[in-house]
Amino acid sequence: MKIFYTVVGTLLCSGAMAQTIDSLETIVVTAQKKEEKLQKIPVSVTAITSRQVIDYRLWNTREITAIVPNLYSADPGDNRNVTSIRGITTTSYDPAVATYIDGVNQFGLDTYIAQLSDIERIEVLRGPQGTLYGRNAMGGVINIITKQPGNNITGFAEANIGNYGQQRYAAGIRTALIKNKLYLGVSGMYDKRHGFYNNVFNNKDFDRQHNVSGNYYLKYIANPRWSVTFNLKHLANRNNGTFPLVNGVEEALEQPFQLNQNAVTKMIDNTFNTSLSINHTGHAFNFSSQTAWQSNHRYYNSPIDGDFSPIDGITIINDYGKDFNKVKVFTQEFRFTSPATAASPLKWTAGTYLFVLDNPVKQATHFGEDAPWVTGTPEKNYALINTSKGKGFGIAFYGEANYALNRQWEVIGGLRYDYERKKQQVLGEYKPDDQPAPIFDFQPDTSARANFNAFSPKVGLLYHAAANNDLYVTYSRGYRAGGLTQLAADPSTPPLYAYKPEYSNNIEVGSKNTFFSNKLRVNVALFYATITDAQVPTLVLPDAITITKNSGKLSSKGAEIELAALPVKGLEINYQAGFTDAEYKTLKVPQGGAEVDLSGKKQLFTPDMTSMLAVQYQFPIIGWQNIQLMARGEWQYIGEQYFDLSNNIRQSPYNLINSRAGILSKYVDLLFWGRNWGNRKYISYAYDFGAVHLGNPETWGFTLRVKW
């Protein structure tokens, strides 16, 4: 221990003084698939810089909730984040908010890696981004960029120790293997913790988990105009107690983090993503090609509890070998952009995008000895095995341009065409426990095809009122792909029903401003959107399968503000707030064998307000100018929201307090952090049948970070 203190002390006192912030960063983003200054883009974009990722202590994409106005993200228990922006929310495995990591479209909830490590920047575009990003970007786009290698040797090593057995270790290095020619980047992370929940059935941690992830780069500069980058990412996640759910809001809040499930299992979750990027910088245009492959194999090594109780009622089985429950996606994008240095008043982007999807799923719903208690029928000790083989193909063509009419006015126009083809084959089998194989088919082997296409236009006007003050108005159309329904045990929900795409029309007015020599930044936006053919989910039990139908019309309107200020040297204030009123104008859904009119109900997973106030102050120690002290406080507010279409499962507004304090230097940071001080109990996610998952309890810990 004495040696540890000596090493840390030596590192803290060495090197130049840690930088004190005296002006806001000028942020360059690639939100519109080309490099632009954040304050000059006529789109609502939140950019979270590398330093802010550390300051906010962001370990997972769901933790950007409220840091981005009108964004809410939650984990239902299986580490697949469900995200909502401006009332446009994910209701199935086809997301409403697209996620890109290092330029690669993370195709669905299964295939993207939500853990954050060695991040250069996170860009979040709010509102439909159909023209440039296409399908499933109705709510917006989360664009994550990790740190890239260069000529200088840079790297970091970080250790986090906290309560609930939290251990998180990460390290990375970036260097030139051949200066100006060949570069290598390597980073990895190991993360583990005990469970937040206690299982009364065996008095053990329920959701104990750990994971290992890696990110590897090899970049080759052929000449000043051509470069090639190979990237590989992987995640191996193990969760001993997926879906820590309690039936009923009252029970979940009165006995927090206590559950009672007899079927205890481990989730095996392996994700592998790789890409090859080719980039060309030219006089007439720039060109890039990105080829990517994504795969995810997720299963439970023993049956998982389907009734969330201690009885032998219903369990779900999905361990059927490597040929099933493994999603595979191939994507290819070619993109052309105008040169950044061109003096022409026309700036443009054009390209094409293609994907091929293979998604074979096999899952059994098992009815045990106590199944009659749940189903109300005498039948027990049997399984219904559903096999679904889904395939998809899509291609898109897009273009967008800005044209400067003069020094003050710019017009914006864009159009995208998407075509998609889906095929699904289903088989339902009945297998008694005393038989070695299924004895009959309750759903014969059959298949169906469906085709979808959509045009996504965008028009806008940008006014440069002054050098640091811009106004804009835009219209854009969003598009979420249609599909085919899955096979379920409920005969009232036939499989292979084709549901239509969902469309939105969005109008946005915004203003971006900086004042006082870049010491104050204020961005505001107003939006109004209408969604037609709304894809409304219905959870079918006991299969736990979501059936999607076009059942409603939704409207969403609201306002957003983002403020960053440096009133005095070393003191930084950030405030983000969003207000959303998302309501179904028409909505008719089946309930209890009848059709129920839910018109006027609020959209689920959509708080009526989100806000985050962060205040950070850092200053050098007198007599120790090479080190600084830092203190940070955060106040997060989440407004009223609902988790079911009937608006019966409600979470009232709540506040969360986070903090961070410690010592900073050029090479070493030593910090203490805490989240959810006061241990506020709240619902972060709930299913419409009443199963509830609470948000994380009070957590705290220490971070030691070495950088060079």
Q: What is the CATH number of domain 2-707?
A: 2.40.170.20
| Pure H helices in 31-169 | 50-55, 130-133
8-state DSSP, 370 = T
Those residues whose C-beta lies under 8 Å from the C-beta of residue 592, and which sit 6 or more positions away, are: none
Question: Which amino acid makes up residue 230?
Answer: F
Rounded to two decimals, the pTM is: 0.92
Mean pLDDT along residues 595-615: 95
How high is the pLDDT of residue 6? 46
C-alpha to C-alpha distance for 235 and 385, rounded to whole angstroms = 29
pLDDT one-digit tens code per residue, 477-486? 988 888 888 7
How high is the pLDDT of residue 545? 67
How high is the pLDDT of residue 27? 81
Mean pLDDT along residues 441-451: 90
User: Which tokens in the block code for residue 415?
Assistant: 């159009």
CA-to-CA dists, residue 162 to 167, 241, 469, 682, angstroms: 7, 21, 44, 22
How high is the pLDDT of residue 376? 86
Those residues whose C-beta lies under 8 Å from the C-beta of residue 349, and which sit 6 or more positions away, are: 32, 33, 34, 132, 335, 336, 337, 338, 398, 399, 400, 401
8-state DSSP, 156 = E
- List the end-to-end C-alpha distance of the chain, in Å, as a whole number: 24
676, 680, 686, 691 alpha-carbon torsion, rounded to 10°: 120
Asked which of 20-29, 135-144, 553-562 is least confident by mean pLDDT, the reply is 20-29
Collapse the DSSP code of 577 into the 3-class scheme (helix H, G, I; strand E, B; otherwise coil) and give the result: strand
pLDDT interval class at 593 (50, 70, 90):
low
Comparing 489 with 230, the larger pLDDT belongs to 230
pLDDT interval class at 109 (50, 70, 90):
confident
At residue 4, does pLDDT exceed 50? Answer: no
At residue 508, does pLDDT exceed 60? Answer: yes
- 638, 641, 579: which is closest to 605 by C-alpha? 641
Locate the DSSP E strands across 639-690.
Answer: 641-642, 650-651, 654-665, 668-675, 683-686
Those residues whose C-beta lies under 8 Å from the C-beta of residue 123, and which sit 6 or more positions away, are: 29, 30, 31, 45, 46, 47, 48, 141, 142, 143, 144, 145
How high is the pLDDT of residue 173? 96
C-alpha to C-alpha distance for 132 and 432, rounded to whole angstroms = 51
C-alpha to C-alpha distance for 440 and 666, rounded to whole angstroms = 69
CA-to-CA dists, residue 612 to 205, 608, 621, 655, angstroms: 32, 14, 29, 10
Those residues whose C-beta lies under 8 Å from the C-beta of residue 9, and which sit 6 or more positions away, are: none
pLDDT interval class at 5 (50, 70, 90):
very low
Mean pLDDT along residues 421-445: 92
Locate the DSSP E strands across 266-324.
Answer: 267-281, 286-300, 304-305, 314-317
Q: Nearest-5° angle of CA 96, CA 32, CA 522? A: 90
C-alpha to C-alpha distance for 52 and 45, rounded to whole angstroms = 15
Mean pLDDT along residues 380-395: 94
How high is the pLDDT of residue 147? 93
At residue 19, does pLDDT exceed 90? Answer: no
Q: Name the β-bridge partners of 675.
A: 699
Percent share of the chain, pLDDT over 90: 72
Cβ-in-10-Å burial (0-12, 13-18, 19+) of 592 comes to: exposed
Residue matched to tokens 């998180």: 168
Write out the DSSP string of 501-559: PEEEEEEEEEEEEEETTTTEEEEEEEEEEEEEEEEEEEEETTTTEEEEEEEEEEEEEEE
Is the CB of residue 246 less than 8 Å from the CB of residue 303? no
pLDDT interval class at 12 (50, 70, 90):
very low
pLDDT one-digit tens code per residue, 299-347? 999 999 988 899 999 999 999 999 999 999 999 999 999 987 767 899 9
Percent share of the chain, pLDDT over 70: 93
Comparing 708 with 112, the larger pLDDT belongs to 708
How high is the pLDDT of residue 541? 64
C-alpha to C-alpha distance for 3 and 614, rounded to whole angstroms = 36
Asked if omega into 542 is within 30° of 0 (cis), the reply is yes
Query: What distance lies between CA 521 and its chain's CA centroid?
Result: 26
Mean pLDDT along residues 615-643: 91
pLDDT one-digit tens code per residue, 201-224? 999 999 999 999 999 999 999 999
pLDDT one-digit tens code per residue, 173-199? 999 999 999 999 999 999 999 999 999
Is the CB of residue 552 less than 8 Å from the CB of residue 588? yes
Q: What ranges do the domains of the chain cover? A: 2-707
pLDDT one-digit tens code per residue, 138-159? 889 999 999 989 899 999 999 9
User: Which tokens in the block code for residue 670?
Assistant: 């030593």
- What is the average pLDDT score of the chain? 90
